[in-house]
Amino acid sequence: MISFGWPMSLAYIDPGTGGMILQLVMAALVGAGLFFRRSIARVFSIFLRKKSDPDDKSKGTS
């Protein structure tokens, strides 16, 4: 067993704990992706709003 300088390690990760850690990491990645997708979309929507055209004749003003 590689101990990286520690004298002795009695801890191990059983399959249930490993699965829980994997689920936690996957949920964090999906949550971060959704959060940043929504935040980035909000920022882009501010800068990419369609400007109203003053020469637009479809408004019905004659």
pLDDT at residue 29, rounded to an integer: 96
Judge contact between 32 and 40, C-beta under 8 A: no
Cα(6)–Cα(26) distance, integer angstroms = 30
pLDDT at residue 54, rounded to an integer: 59
Give domain status of residue 4, yes or no: no
Task: Quote the pTM value.
Answer: 0.49
Give domain status of residue 16, yes or no: no
Give domain status of residue 56, yes or no: no
| Owning domain of residue 42 | 23-47
Mean pLDDT of the chain: 78
Judge contact between 9 and 3, C-beta under 8 A: yes
Cα(29)–Cα(17) distance, integer angstroms = 18
Amino acid at 29: L
Give domain status of residue 2, yes or no: no
